[in-house]
Amino acid sequence: MKTNLIIIFVLSVLLVSCKNKSTQITDNDSGFIEISKAQFESEKMVIGEPILNPFTDEVNFTGSIIPSIDGQAQISLPLPGIIDKIHCKPGQIISKGSIMFEVSGNGFIDQQKDFAESSAIVSRLKSDYLRAKELYEANIASPKDFTYAESNYYAENAKHKALKIKLESMGLDVSKIEKGVFYSSYTIKSSINGFVSSINATIGQYVEPQQKIAEIIDDKSFQLRLSVFEKNIIKIKTGQTVAFYLNGNKSVKHKATINGVGKTIIPDSKSIECFAVIDNPKSINMVGNQFVEGSVYTAVDSVLSVPETAIIYSDNNSYILIYEKEVNSKYYFKKIKVKTGRKVNNYIELTEQLPSSKLLVNGIYNIQIE
């Protein structure tokens, strides 16, 4: 009984060993590799042809999401003043022309006063100038008197126009100010559409004109700022396609197009900044200064290629099996050494022409050649 158990165990081991053993096919005397039809079907082999497949040369980059030049605005005051009211908050979406702050101050009152006084002076000097001009043309007034009246009028009129432009830019009705009706405060409005990214002011704070009190970013103007190494910059041109991903998520790629190539090397990183317009930005959840990675497709060409499943590797070389004929339920193939190039989407580039267009493209994983 014990002997029978040993025999059964040995037979089981041999059976498993035979099942797991890879199929080995060697060249026969004719120089062909023979594969039986039964083996061809059991290994699910497929005969196919090389195809023209698009391959790309890529330059990798890191970068960030930034607004375009006209998609970012810093808010400041035209005059020194005190913040009376704040009508916005960080993260708020606002439209161009929306009121953000109300501001008051002595400087604002003084400017209105200066404008009202200048309006009165201009009116008087204009009359003097026109009167002097009439007398001068009638040879009654001297050239000196006419020049004096003319220069006084022009000088004051220039001052008056400058004050008028400043007040109108603040959204004030200057016709009221000319009549002595002054405003106690003025408003600061948004200059672009976007969201408030920061507010650097509080109610009651005295603010100088050079201080930034808020910043607005138009998220619809987001673009890519890429850092490309100096050695690769010669490959980058406007119009090239960019594939990028956010937050390290390589499974979701987005598209952009190069629209600007920098001309200055950044000393610390030895890189050059380039810029790209994002395709369909509304469909992407982005934030300012967000880190991105990706590739610039610097060249796209269609080359002869075969599936990776068509390549047999042996002794650091690559081979394919060219189909020759089928005779008596046997397939005959010829082993051809090939040179391969780039890989993309499970296809491998062939860098030279093949002697035939038909080859074994699938089912070679159990084939061992000598």
**pLDDT confidence of residue 369:** 65
140 and 211 co-located in one domain: no
CATH number, domain containing residue 58: 2.40.30.170
Please indicate, yes or no, whether residues 124 and 249 belong to a single structural domain of this protein.
no
- Are 242 and 344 part of one and the same domain? yes
pLDDT of residue 4: 43
> d(Cα 103, Cα 156) in Å, to the nearest integer?
28
Residue 225, judged by CB atoms within 10 A of its CB (0-12, 13-18, 19+), counts as: middle
Give the domain range for residue 345. Answer: 23-68+223-370
Higher pLDDT, 41 or 224: 224
> Residue 15: inside a domain, yes or no?
no
Give the per-residue pLDDT at 3.
41
Share of the chain above pLDDT 90, in %: 64
- Report pLDDT for 13: 36
298 found inside a domain: yes
Average pLDDT rounded to a whole number, residues 24-36:
67
pLDDT per position as a tens digit, 45-82: 999 999 888 888 889 999 999 999 999 999 999 999 99
* DSSP state at residue 172: -
Helix axes 143-169, 106-137, angle to 10 degrees: 150
Q: At residue 185, what are phi and psi to the nearest 5 degrees?
A: -155, 170
Most confident of 118-127, 294-303, 354-363: 118-127
Closest by Cα among 156, 183, 158, 155 to 171? 183
In the prediction, which pLDDT does 140 show?
A: 85
Q: What is the pLDDT of residues 121-144, one digit of tens each?
A: 999 999 998 998 888 888 887 888
* Residue reference for tokens 């080995």: 24
- Give me the pLDDT at residue 28, please: 52
Q: Does the pLDDT of residue 11 top 50, yes or no?
A: no
Q: Does 341 fall in a domain?
A: yes
CATH number, residue 83: 2.40.50.100
Q: Is residue 3 part of a domain?
A: no
In a domain, 17, yes or no: no
For residues 296 and 208, state if they share a domain: no
Residue 31 sits in the same domain as residue 56: yes
pLDDT at 20 over 80: no
Record the tokens describing residue 195, joined without a space. Answer: 């969201």
Same domain, 333 and 352: yes
Number of separate domains in the chain: 3
Same domain, yes or no: 232 and 298: yes
pTM metric for this prediction: 0.65
Domain C-terminal end among 180, 207, 240: 180
